[in-house]
Amino acid sequence: MRCVGDDRQLPAIDAGGAGIDTAHTPDAITLTHVVRFADTAEATAGLALRDGDPSGLGFYLDHQRIHSGSAATVVDKAYAAWFADQHAGRDAIMLAPTHDIVTDLNERARADRLARITESTSATTFLGDGLSASVGDIVCTRRNNRRLPVGDHDWVRNGYRWHIDTVHPDGSLTVTHLRPGGQPGNTTVLPPEYVGLHVRLGYAMTIDSAQGTTADTCHTVLTGSESRNQLYVAITRGIHANHLYVPTTIDGSELSFWTEPAILPRTAVEVLQHILAREATHASARTALRDALDPHRRLGRAADIYLDAIGVATEHTLGNDALTRLDQHAEILLPGLTDAPAYPVLRQHLATLALAGHDPVTALRTAIGDRELDTAKDPAAVLDWRLDTSGAHSTGTGPLPWLHGLPHQITDTTIANQLHARHRIVTDLATQITADARPWTAANAPVWARPLLGNQELIAELAVWRTANHVPDTDLRPTGPARFPTREHDYQTRLNTRVTDALGDLHTATHKWEPLAKRLDTRIINDPWWPVLAAHIDTAAAAGLDIDTLLTAAATQRPLPVDMAAAALWSRLRLDSSALTTHTSQPLRPDWTPHVHDIVGHDDLAEHIINDPAWPRLVAAIDTAPADWAPHDLLSTAHELLLAAADDATTLPLPDQLATALAWRIEILTRPTHEPGNTHTANETATTMTPLTPQPRDAGSAPGDGVGPSPADIVYAIGYLVSAGRIDEARTTFTRLTAHLNTTQRDILQRVITTLSNRAYPTATARLRWAADRYPEHRAFILAAIPATDPHLHQPLDHTQPGHDPRTAARDHREYIDPTRRRPPRPDRGRDAFDTYTHSFADLDADPAHLPVPEGTGTTRHHPSNEPPENADTTSFLAGNGHTVDYDRYAVPDHHELPCLACGLERPLTDTQPRHCDDGLCSTCRDDNQPGIPDHEPADHAAARCTFITDQHPPTAALALLRKDWRHTRNPADRATIEAFANTLLTAETPANENNPPHNHGSDSGFGLANPTQMLTDTELTQAIGTLELRIQLADDEATVYGPAHCTSNTVNPVDTDWLEEELTDLQIELTRRARLTPEQATKEQAQRANREHGTVSWSAAEHPALDTNAVAGTDGPGL
């Protein structure tokens, strides 16, 4: 069982966080490359929002995808934009967080549709949302129902959208499934009871029900109370564009004037940032327990409780009367002081002084008279610092260096013990974090600690500091935001100094690139994301990229948005691959990973790169590179460019930057030199086909119709774009192409993909070219769809496939049972005897004397069945128990090793026959209604096959096919039958005609036209010898990949290569014979071969399918 899902989307109802726990297990595999979007920059922005990073909003602001207004206005804007997309022919959808908004949008959409049609309204039916629907409406199903099939392999699912074709009198609906892009799919009938409960109008949907939905564009109405999970789902439904409509005003109700948005209005960006900070992921009981015991999660709260407990204990010990007098004196000394935000902290400080025997009023009067306080924003905070400039609150050092200690004047023993317990908890948690952080390596260190690996003491101190002050791991600043309390500020300064000594000035990148940013747009440096952008720019510069040119070109495309200008500018560079950052516990190891060690030359540095969070970006950059780039060449070239760009060793990227620098270097290296600019507006999506420069095509292609580029030309252009690395343009062009294809062309394209996926590239190419010749009206389109290089769509599975024998259970994975854990079988002497016989004699291939074979079966081997014949009675068959077994058919050998009689290609071992006997065809030719062997007794299959061959083909071609069958047949009785038919053809008096030229049975050089081996050209003969030698060497691998599943016993049968060696011997003998020919004889034979090449038989094809997949030229081949 394989569970596939996204743990950052909406959690399942009542799942209890089990999915999150499963995704975070060490063996879980994470999909990293995003493929939904037409624009990789939008995919990268979506991944940033998935992690809660507000910088992802820069892309949407830059492309005018975020719209604001009142609650009613944003609904109107969303509907107007959806209506414009629908009118332009795009598959658009509207999303909203509540059913009320969805119902309103659906009702408006249906009313507008009815107003645009001229014919009278047809029959209607009521849906589950209380609205009605008629023919032409779009509806959405809200519950899975496996009893309602959709095609052959699907059923009605939750979230599927449908087009209503017919409304029946009983309320049932005939609907057509709308696939992604609005393309029509299969048709089904929804019963009335299902329609009334689980069907709704589908113009708009709730965000929670839209998971799995894909459209061209998506328009989402928000309320501001959504979670990050809902925003992530809403922002990833559209392929070409996703728009957000955010309310920034109150709704005008009486209560709304007393809410926070009324007092402190927010912008659309601020509303979205609050949504990103609101995560709604469920936590299981196991996760809650683990988090409750995790010191990295406990220390921050424990430190806060410790400080609060000291203040409460101090005030409690001093008493309420003393605190009241203290408040009165403070208000007299400085009116308004008790209303200052920091006064509670100041009062606790004064209480501590009182317990220590000092006069708090005198100390406060002295602090107030020290200097003026008129310019202080918070006078209480200033006075607190003046009372004790060390920040210790007149106490000692606490459990952490920046926390103040416990007051010693606490007289209550219970309270004192509680304070000491709090002190001990903080100390123990800090000790645990220090012990956990010291052994961090590149494989498990958080991102902020990776540059400091090697300085374990500093990393441990930073880990304690960040945890105690609630600094998230996503904040890449070593010490986090600035702290203002004196002791915290002093300790943070010391930590920053030590970090600077280890890494250099952390603000160098900001100062270095600030002049360039100001020259482009002064708003860039005012963006809170500017320090992060400066660090990225510095890394890109270290990678050898021309930052000045890239930034200038990006900034001059169009004006930057007012908010998040730096993030928007970075999204325009398109350096980040649309790859998900993975945890180090979920390794991503492509087959070219060892090349990293070879190229970098340092094992520690290579492991640093492989375990870097940016490693998936590097993998995505290499995987999406043009096909003519080998991974090793691409990596070595990028690494050499990094070294060449560095002035000296000090300017090389740091180890934690190397993976990112390599990924960006490869992105620029594989990016086309001239990319067409985006001529569309920010909120526009192109829908018309863009004329492309046609590429050279096959000479047999049909010319265009003169109106525009033909589909074949566009397919050629898509292949050119892919080979050039312009993946985004190729994807967009392909999407537009599919919208303009007719049903036949779509079917051809699907068959091409199926052929390339189900067969090896050479075999698939041969079948596709054969189909192109057979269907000349589609020849140009089929040839254009054949890739020039192997697309690697065919991936033979390395596990056991379901067998063709219906008596055996089908398995789709290898079964391994630990022998030490096998349960001993129950005593069954009959079954034990049968198992012993099967284990001992099942693999024999000789005339068995222990069990005679009935005469007339044509077999020399007994095949024991899995069940004694007397148990397989007719009663159990009629009752439907077990599989139907054809004993006549299973009593004879299997003939799947013989090639197909129509196309000449090998037949899959799992290809099942629909009839009682083998018709000699593969499944493709059988579906194409090719003639096959007539019905016959299974025991007479060899004779029936030979008779069919001799009846359907001229004698010369029949001899070639019989010789090919003789080579592939292992049964002596079948070989004797084939030899008899061949001798009859050779001795028959067949008159010569154009289909059967006179035979040259021999010459002085031993050359004969009837010998297919001698009809091979010298080149074909050499290639055939090399092919057979390679197949003999790889016989074990070939049997594992393409052969039947092994038996469950531990004994592995050796692969039989005798027939290959026999064929190789014949070819080598022929090669030796040709070497002894005189020049005149060699010239004569070559002339005869050249003349024979234009005849009816292609001997190279008949004898060697590895050289040409067509067995006999002129025979009808299969379709796709």
pLDDT at 1106: 32
CB atoms within 10 A of CB 659: 23
Choose the weakest-confidence range: 54-68, 559-573, 811-825: 811-825
Over 50: is that where the pLDDT of 279 sits? yes
Name beta bridge partners: 220.
95, 244
Contacts of 259 (CB under 8 A, 6+ apart): 250
pLDDT surpasses 50 at 541? yes
Are 594 and 621 in contact by the 8 Å Cβ rule? The answer is: no
Higher per-residue pLDDT: 236 or 22: 236
Neighbours of 615 (CB within 10 A): 26
Q: For residue 297, what is the enclosing H or E element? A: helix 295-318
Calculate mean pLDDT across residues 39-59. 88
Q: Is the pLDDT reported for residue 1011 higher than 70?
A: no
- In the chain, the amino acid numbered 899 is P
- The tens digit of pLDDT for each residue in 818-872 reads 555 555 555 555 666 666 655 555 544 444 444 444 444 444 444 444 444 444 4
Which residue, chain included where needed, has tokens 């025991």?
939
For residue 1077, CA distances in Å to 570, 785, 1000, 1021, 1063 come to: 73, 46, 17, 16, 22
pLDDT tops 50 at residue 438: yes
Q: Give percent of the chain above pLDDT 90.
A: 18
Q: Where are the beta strands (DSSP E) in 472-621?
A: none
CA distances from 188 to 143, 145, 150, 177, 680 (A): 15, 12, 6, 8, 39
pLDDT value of residue 28: 72
Q: Assign 399 a pLDDT band (cuts: 50, 70, 90).
A: very high
What whole-number distance in Å separates Cα of residue 710 and Cα of residue 781? 9
Separation between Cα atoms, residue 345 and residue 388, nearest integer Å: 13
Kindly write down the DSSP assignment for every residue of 336-401, as one continuous string: TGGGSTTHHHHHHHHHHHHHTT--HHHHHHHHHHHS--TT-S-HHHHHHHHH-TTSSTTS-B-SST
Q: Say how many C-beta atoms besides its own lie within 10 A of residue 108's C-beta.
A: 18
Q: Which tokens is 33 given?
A: 């490359």
Q: How many CA atoms lie within 13 A of 968 on its CB side?
A: 22
* pLDDT average, residue stretch 932-951: 87
pLDDT value for 100: 92
Binned at pLDDT 50, 70 and 90, residue 148 comes out as very high
Does residue 961 surpass a pLDDT of 90? no
Q: Which DSSP string corresponds to 180-220?
A: TTS-EEEEEEE-HHHHHHHEEE-SEEEGGG-TT--EEEEEE
Q: Tell me the backbone φ, ψ of residue 145, rounded to 5 degrees.
A: -150, 100
Q: Which of 83-87, 227-231, 728-732, 874-878 has the lowest mean pLDDT?
A: 874-878
Tokens 């202080």 sit on residue: 376
Average pLDDT over residues 461-483: 88
Contact by Cβ (8 Å): 460, 433: yes
Residue whose entry in the numeric block shows the structure tokens 């590239």: 761
**Choice among 504-513, 912-921, 995-1004 with the minimum mean pLDDT:** 995-1004
471 vs 480: CA distance, rounded Å: 6
- For residue 339, give every residue at least 6 positions away whose Cβ sits within 8 Å of its Cβ, in sequence order, or none: none
Region of poorest pLDDT, from 22-31, 330-339, 520-529, 840-849 = 840-849
Question: Has domain 65-276 been given CATH number 2.40.50?
Answer: no
Mean pLDDT of the chain: 77
Torsion angle of C-alpha atoms 276, 282, 286, 291, degrees rounded to 10: 20
CA dist 683 to 204, 217, 223, 1069, Å?
20, 10, 22, 73
Burial 726-739 (b: 16+ CB within 10 A, else e): bbbbbbbbbbebeb
Residue 807 clears pLDDT 70, i.e. is over it: no
Helices (H), ranges, 601-654: 603-610, 615-623, 631-645
Does 918 score more than 90 pLDDT? Answer: no
Q: Is the pLDDT of residue 428 over 80?
A: yes
Q: What is the rounded CA–CA span in Å between residue 750 and residue 862? A: 44
The set of long-range contacts for 711-715, using a CB threshold of 8 Å and a minimum separation of 24, is: 711/737, 711/740, 711/741, 711/745, 711/781, 711/784, 712/780, 712/781, 712/783, 712/784, 713/784, 714/689, 715/781, 715/784, 715/785
Task: Give SS3 for 145.
Answer: strand
Rounded to the nearest 10 degrees, what angle do helices 631-645 and 655-670 cross at? 110
Q: Determine whether 451 is exposed, middle or buried from the number of CB atoms within 10 Å of its CB (0-12, 13-18, 19+).
A: buried
Orientation angle between helical segments 456-468 and 486-503, nearest 10 degrees: 150
3 state DSSP class of 242: strand
- The structure tokens listed for 554 are 């990006």
| Whole-angstrom Cα Rg for the chain | 39
Instruction: Burial-class residue 817 by CB neighbours within 10 Å (0-12, 13-18, 19+).
Output: exposed
What's the pTM value of the predicted model, to 2 decimals?
0.58
Task: State the SS3 of 675-705.
Answer: CCCCCCCCCCCCCCCCCCCCCCCCCCCCCCC
Number of Cβ within 10 Å of residue 114's Cβ equals 12
pLDDT band at 481 (very low <50, low <70, confident <90, very high): confident
d(CA 577, CA 613): 13
Structure tokens at 750: 């699907």
Cα Dmax for the chain: 135
Please list, in sequence order, all residues whose beta carbon lies within 8 angstroms of the beta carbon of residue 690, skipping any fewer than 6 positions away.
733, 736
Q: Quickly list H helices, 51-96.
A: 57-62, 71-87
Count Cβ atoms below 10 Å from residue 248 Cβ, excluding itself.
Answer: 19
What phi and psi, each to the nearest 5 degrees, are found at residue 766?
-60, -45
Q: Contact at 8 Å (CB) between 1013 and 1070?
A: yes
Q: Would you state the pLDDT for residue 108? A: 94
pLDDT at 600 over 90: no
At 264, the amino acid letter reads: L
Token code pair at residue 263: 């007092």
Instruction: Provide the CA 512 distance to its chain's centre, in angstroms.
Output: 38
Under 8 Å between Cβ of 594 and 38: no
User: Which tokens is 123 given?
Assistant: 């029959």
Name the E strands within 115-196.
Answer: 124-126, 132-134, 138-141, 145-150, 154-156, 161-167, 173-178, 184-190
* Torsion from C-alpha of 1084, 1088, 1090, 1091, nearest 10 degrees: 140
In this structure, the dihedral spanned by the alpha carbons of residues 730, 566, 658 and 438, taken in order and rounded to 10 degrees, is -130
Q: In which residue are the tokens 């029936």 written?
A: 944
> Residue 1075: is its pLDDT beyond 90?
no
Q: Residue 123 and residue 171: Cα distance in Å, rounded?
A: 9
> Higher model confidence: residue 314 or residue 396?
314
Q: Which pLDDT does position 433 carry in this prediction?
A: 94
Domain boundaries along the sequence of the chain: 65-276, 288-437, 513-679, 688-797, 890-997, 1018-1103
Amino acid at 307: L
Q: How confident is the model at residue 434 (pLDDT cuts 50, 70, 90)?
A: very high
Structure token pair of residue 713: 């030309």
Residue 877 pLDDT:
37
Distances from the Cα of 983 to the Cα of 52, 164, 971, 978, 1007, angstroms: 79, 66, 18, 9, 19
For the segment 620-663, what is each residue's pLDDT rounded down to a tens digit? 788 777 776 788 888 888 887 777 766 554 566 777 778 888 88
Query: From CA 334, how far away is CA 380, in angstroms rounded?
Result: 10
What percent of the chain is modeled with pLDDT above 70?
A: 75
Residue 437 has phi, psi (to 5 degrees) of: -80, -30
Residue 133, SS3?
A: strand
Structure tokens at 425: 């908890």
The whole-angstrom distance between residue 975's C-alpha and the CA centroid of its chain comes to: 51
Q: Are strands 145-150 and 154-156 parallel, antiparallel or unpaired?
A: antiparallel
Cα distance between residue 129 and residue 107, in whole Å: 10
- 3 state SS of 799: coil
Strand order through the sheet with 238-247: 66-69, 238-247, 215-221, 92-96, 204-206
The phi, psi pair for 878, rounded to 5°, reads -65, -25
Give the closest residue to 553 by CA, choosing from 662, 677, 682. Answer: 677
